[in-house]
Structure 1
Amino acid sequence: MEDIPSYVAATFIAIVIAVLGFLYYAISAATPGKKSITPSLVITLIVGWIFFICVQTFNGYFTNLSGFPRLPLMVCFTLAAIAILFVWPRTRAILMEMPITTLHYIHIVRVPVEMVLWWLAVSRAIPMDMTFEGSNLDIISGISAPFAAVFMVGAQSKSRIGAIIWNVIALALLINIVNMAVGYMPYYYTPTGGQSANLGVFYFPYVLLPTVIVPTIFFSHLVSLYQLIFKKDQLQF
């Protein structure tokens, strides 16, 4: 990992900060009021989770490949937390009020994420098949996100069916790259034919891709679809 240029890590850290900014704005809009501590509380919890993941990374917890798959286990914890948000009525009500345009604009970060993946592949930290030069088409979601935000859920132009279709397709592209990423992890894959294993995500700061960035993107799709399907009145922009 020493051969990866420093600007790659800097770019990725900027992506993490941008994602936190999108989340803070969306939660703030869903919980208006000067006395609401919900946005700060949520971001504090996420930052705490990031700190925990980083500490475990520096301690070599994830690079110890013996025993159970440790990194996928951390991802399962985040998915369980997301599931709880949809089960608990109080948080479900907040999800319903999150501005749907913000939930679409957040997917713009998928473009720089794909650039980071390509840089990692060039440095042989991940397989090239996980980039837009291979079988990963997720960059399409990032490029099309602003158009979906403006023309499908925008304040002046709306298409509920179009937004549902876009979210389903973009979610499928996300699942595709996640499936590849898991398949190329050293738990399950032995490099052959010059193809690298997916090792980059076991190190800081790229460990935050499967543990923070991807779950947040997944969460944004779920909340958007939840609103588009079940919110019959005017959507919150």
Structure 2
Amino acid sequence: MLHQLPLYVSLVFGATTLATVWLFYRASRQSILVLVVLLAWMALQAGLSLAGFYRQTDAMPPRFPALVIPPLLVLIGLLRTAGGRRFLDSLRLDQLTLLHTVRIPVELVLFWLFVAGAVPKEMTFEGRNVDIVSGLTAPVVYYLAFVRKRLSGRGLLIWNLICLGLLVNIVLTAAMAVPSPVQQIAFSQPNIAILYFPFVWLPSVVVPIVLVAHVSSLRQLRRKASEKQTDLFTH
């Protein structure tokens, strides 16, 4: 674990990760398989980080891609298989929208880590990262779209696209700041936090779940828009 870091930072982030998993479990219509797979993946990444696997930053090839490549391969598999697409389309759109509220505590944790010297300023809302906007607007969008039913599917689709762009921005910034032979930015204060427990769960658990939430939402919203267009032409 990172030394000289206030305990509350790790506790808040650990709770945020568990909340992310719980909300995705709810979005999956309480699939026990989804919950078991996510908890097993969390345990594996926790074990690797506690063993110091990711702290060997001079290794070639770099080891930190092992945090993100497996989830990306799973997402590709979901998109390329009929069963995977059915799973993505079965996720609850309302819960996927509410899930993005976890991006608020994530951004607070990133700021605390910056103050502690564990991530660069570029990864915070004082730098290049404005992803906190996604978290702050998520409960408003949820309320307007699913409680008051005042926000159209088109509006929800546009919001997802904007928030997906904000996610890609911070992911690329974080990846370029990780100490490795291919590091591109933040050499004076690199992104070392994700190499330690529990922050290893940010790129390996929280970000992939948020990405899947966007992909699933966009698929469902595009399908609904297409069905409405079809209905207009057939009536």
Q: TM-score, normalised by structure 2?
A: 0.89
Do structure 1's residue 162 and structure 2's residue 155 form an aligned pair?
A: yes
Aligned to 1:23: 24
Counterparts of 1:114-129 in structure 2, within 5 Å, are: 114-129=107-122
8 Å Cα contact 2:176-2:185 kept in structure 1: no
Aligned to 2:231: none
Aligned to 1:2: 3
1:166 & 1:190 partners in 2: Cα distance?
Answer: 29
Counterparts of 1:63-212 in structure 2, within 5 Å, are: 63-65=55-57, 66-154=59-147, 156-187=149-180, 188-189=183-184, 191-192=186-187, 195-212=188-205
Shift of 1:133: 1.0
2:156 & 2:141 partners in 1: Cα distance?
Answer: 7
Shift of 1:189: 4.2
2:215 & 2:12 partners in 1: Cα distance?
Answer: 26
SS of alignment partner, residue 70 of structure 1: coil
Aligned to 1:46: 38
Give the fraction of aligned pairs with identical amino acids, expressed as a percent: 34
Shift of 1:158: 3.7
Runs of 4+ aligned residues of structure 1 deviating over 3 Å after TM superposition are: 152-155, 189-192, 231-234
Aligned to 1:33: none
Match of 1:60 among 32, 48, 52: 52
Aligned to 1:36: none
Q: Structure 1 stretch 158-167 or stretch 134-143: which is displaced more?
A: 158-167
Shift of 1:172: 0.4
Shift of 1:155: 6.4
Higher helix proportion = 2
1:124 & 1:191 partners in 2: Cα distance?
Answer: 11
C-alpha offsets along residues 24-44 of structure 1, whole Å, 9 cap, x if unaligned? Answer: 111126xxxxxxxxx111111
2:147 & 2:155 partners in 1: Cα distance?
Answer: 12
8 Å Cα contact 1:111-1:143 kept in structure 2: yes
Q: Structure 1 stretch 173-182 or stretch 68-77: which is displaced more?
A: 68-77
Shift of 1:55: 1.0
Shift of 1:76: 1.1
SS of alignment partner, residue 15 of structure 2: helix
8 Å Cα contact 2:119-2:193 kept in structure 1: yes
8 Å Cα contact 1:189-1:197 kept in structure 2: no
2:125 & 2:144 partners in 1: Cα distance?
Answer: 25
Gaps of 5+ in 1: 30-38
Q: Structure 1 stretch 117-126 or stretch 18-27: which is displaced more?
A: 18-27
Shift of 1:105: 0.5
8 Å Cα contact 1:96-1:231 kept in structure 2: no
**Partner amino acid for 1:159?**
S
C-alpha RMSD over aligned residues: 1.7
